Structure 1
């Protein structure tokens, strides 16, 4: 090889290295400049706001009409279980037939169901009647978050192309958006229920769901293509449910534990504020907790991680479990606010990493369903935690309810540690393309 050839090769390598070093780092500015994203982000934010108001609105209304946190938690739990069971089916239908085909009838049913629940509660209906209304209320909750995440994956290239590096940033952005709604939602619902009328929080939730959901459904930007008809597509696409992927099952357990934190905090903070003689501080305490989650999410989205997502999930979960371990021992509002902020700071890394892992574990044709399994797991964990924490608060006092987040995260951490190998993408998998028209990765080898 001549000296000129060696010199050219050296220069080419140096140029490639410099180009890699000069490549733009992932960041929110670059993410939001992606063409077409703003048209679905604003309606998506308005449409997901009611999700943060639903549980606390039910708890405050039913507790007012029955005088029992246990009954209030049970009704909220029925709503959460119904949502957890039905949300993945809605996600699967959205993957198959398109988002709008699921959203429009869903928001209409949800609005009617919430109206029925409010009317029954104010009329002093028996608990079984409230349960009956809670079932369609939860089943019809529009899964805006998973749909927005699916649109992000479509806009950013489904894991391939020059924008693929922005997928973790998009996951962080969605976590921040979710938590921003949980900063606003509980405070707004509490203010409406305590300052206007006990039913005002739920009525506002239904109105925002109707208006925001229809506006989001009208946006075409980033809409994923419906799934291939039965029998068509790749073998991965024909497997069926996203839950057939082992890693998704492990993530579901992790998100159940996160849901136990949300549910346990909501009921226990409400009972704690009432015990302290200042029920209005409940919204502030929960807002601080959610603000910690939001702040951590903002930071996570600006970092270029050197640690893989599987390890980040484990580290984040250990920190979350440790943070929840002291909640039950706190006796004052300022201390509880500080510890709640710490717990919130530990949630975001686990949530963001879990959603990021979906990109490498699940084919694009089942991604909305996978996201809804995780969202549904949060709702199911929240529902179970609301029920148990409500009973503990009624029987032993508000601080006993804080044991629920610790138990939920500790059990999930044990499962994560035992099954962490399932969160790794198959080593034999590789991306195969068949021309410019095919953008979707095809898994080849063992799955």
Structure 2
């Protein structure tokens, strides 16, 4: 298995930008849990915590594609440095406002203002595409590596965030996340050797959106439903573990979900599967929908952790095949924006899922809240079938 990934790091500069990005990846995984636990603890409301988290992610969904377009037009380093500074200052204001006697709207405003944080994952994937042009097998392994690194960070990040927020101070998780984001983003931007070149096409047609490319919109909408799985899972798990008297276990439980995904992602990256990428995508989304349903049967934190680890086995392959699809559909000059757009769908879904999950917990209880990710995973499968299923394939064949 390791031979597949060893070939990736033989490329000059690949190891340097991968390691440099790790602190920023970890910070991204800490932000959500840190904000939810911080607001819920200091303001005594899971509904408010979910809404604040949703508002921040919605703002990222709006600014993310714009930041991605700027990266394609001006280069990664020129955009990453100022965007990171603005995001860090705004996140610091959020940490202050959460514990101060200020109106709740300040939390929404501060979190929204922090949305300029650049998408390190999309920029790293764009670098792999430049390093291995015309090498689909290596780009598949690179996408798998990127997703597995994301999942490993999401395994460690929530645990660290929950521990800091519950044992040090409610704002501690967010403060540490800010420091990691700044360090990682600036270190990544400093790796100019592997930075993708600015393409003339991105400058000549600045208003053309990758959403106009057939297939990109379908992936984005599928990601919207998938994001609802992740967003609701985060809020519901924090509430459920607290209802059982184990609030610090939330990070561990969410880490198991990411751990299962990381293991599956690393193995998936070594496979050379027959068939087309759209077929792989459909199979992975279907597996995610099926494996998410047993979560409703969880009776304690140990059963929940086991079921979420199993459910996570399908999430990384789904993300990997989706990014492979984006690479096949979007031209190199728009790749960062294209990947950011699909991620935007994910973030909008996370935003909606966090809000809906918090509302369900308030109305029907923490355990019932797990119906939200179960239903959302089924919706993701329906959308994927509508976009890439047999009926959609026949329509495209007739159109050509």
Class of the TM-score when normalised by the shorter of the 2 chains: over 0.9
TM-score by length of 1: 0.85
Partners in 1 of 2:280 and 2:83 — Cα distance? 35
Partners in 2 of 1:35 and 1:142 — Cα distance? 24
- Deviation of 1:43 (Å): 0.7
- The alignment covers a number of residue pairs equal to 396
> For 1:426-437, what aligned pairs fall within 5 Å after superposition?
none
Map of 1:293 onto structure 2: 261
Partners in 1 of 2:203 and 2:182 — Cα distance? 36
Q: 1:415 to 1:27 in 2, by over 3 A?
A: same
1:354 equivalent in alignment to 2:331 = no
Map of 2:155 onto structure 1: 183
Map of 2:179 onto structure 1: 207
Q: 1:320 to 1:44 in 2, by over 3 A?
A: same
Segments of structure 2 that go 5 or more residues without pairing to the other structure are none
Partners in 2 of 1:164 and 1:353 — Cα distance? 12
Map of 2:197 onto structure 1: 225
Q: 1:397 to 1:216 in 2, by over 3 A?
A: same
Checking the alignment, whether the CA contact within 8 Å between 1:257 and 1:405 is kept in structure 2 is no
Checking the alignment, whether the CA contact within 8 Å between 2:201 and 2:333 is kept in structure 1 is no
Render the CA deviation track for 1:4-48: whole Å, top value 9, x for unaligned: xxxxxxxxxxxxxxxxxxxx9981111222222112111112222
Partners in 1 of 2:393 and 2:139 — Cα distance? 18
> For 1:8-407, what aligned pairs fall within 5 Å after superposition?
27-137=4-114, 139-157=115-133, 160=134, 163-228=135-200, 232=204, 240-407=208-375
* 1:325 alignment partner, SS class: helix
Partners in 2 of 1:136 and 1:126 — Cα distance? 16
Segments of structure 1 that go 5 or more residues without pairing to the other structure are 1-23, 428-445
Partners in 1 of 2:91 and 2:203 — Cα distance? 39
Task: Provide runs of 4+ in structure 1 moved above 4 Å.
Answer: 229-232, 421-424
- Deviation of 1:65 (Å): 1.2
Render the CA deviation track for 1:70-117: whole Å, top value 9, x for unaligned: 000000000100001110111011001111121011110011001111
- Deviation of 1:212 (Å): 1.2
Render the CA deviation track for 1:283-323: whole Å, top value 9, x for unaligned: 11111111000000011011111132111111111111112
Checking the alignment, whether the CA contact within 8 Å between 1:37 and 1:221 is kept in structure 2 is no
Checking the alignment, whether the CA contact within 8 Å between 1:256 and 1:408 is kept in structure 2 is no
TM-score by length of 2: 0.94
Partners in 1 of 2:95 and 2:2 — Cα distance? 49
Q: 1:230 to 1:36 in 2, by over 3 A?
A: closer
Which structure has the larger Rg?
Answer: 1
Return 412-421 or 73-82, whichever deviates more: 412-421
